[in-house]
Amino acid sequence: MHTRIIAPAAFALSAALFATLPAQAQAPAAQEGYAQGGFQGPVAQTRVNTVAEARKAWDDTPVTLTGYIVQRMPHDDDDYLFRDDTGEIVVDIDHEIFRGRTVTPQTRVRITGEVDRGFMEPTTIDVKFLEIQ
């Protein structure tokens, strides 16, 4: 029974004490005109431009790769093997991304998308845009 009386009383007392503190002692977000600080300066490039960089990049890292789609992968109609001067990687290109254009292994393309890393899965690229060079 004592805890029913003590807990609400302690809460009321602490709320009253907090309300009487000067604004400087309260949380910074409660102060009027408070500006949050932080680093202001250049941002490191996060877009990768080669297959070798893409293989090491974090999940969802933006990529722009220039090279060749050399073959369709046998297990999925949207998966292709992409090659540049630094290596090969599987890219996932939805049919709509081709927009009716024909691409052969000799067609140089620029693909833009993001790294897709899954647990215990090989790194792939989810292609959002394809440009013929």
Its pTM stands at 0.65
Give the residue with greater pLDDT, 5 vs 66. Answer: 66
* Strand 124-132 relative to strand 87-92, pairing: parallel
What DSSP letter does each residue of 5-71 carry, written as one string? HHHHHHHHHHHHHHHHS-GGGS-GGGSTT-------S------B-SHHHHHHSPTT-EEEEEEEEEE
**pLDDT tens digit string along 74-132?**
988 899 999 999 999 999 999 999 999 999 999 999 999 999 998 888 999 999 999 99
Both tokens assigned to 129? 């845009």
The domains found in the chain, sorted by start residue, are 51-132 (2.40.50.200)
Give the residue with greater pLDDT, 4 vs 109. Answer: 109
**pLDDT tens digit string along 24-35?**
555 555 556 666
Q: Which residues contact 45 (CB under 8 A, 6 or more apart)?
A: none
Both tokens assigned to 58? 């974090």
Distance of alpha carbon 67 from alpha carbon 108, whole angstroms: 5
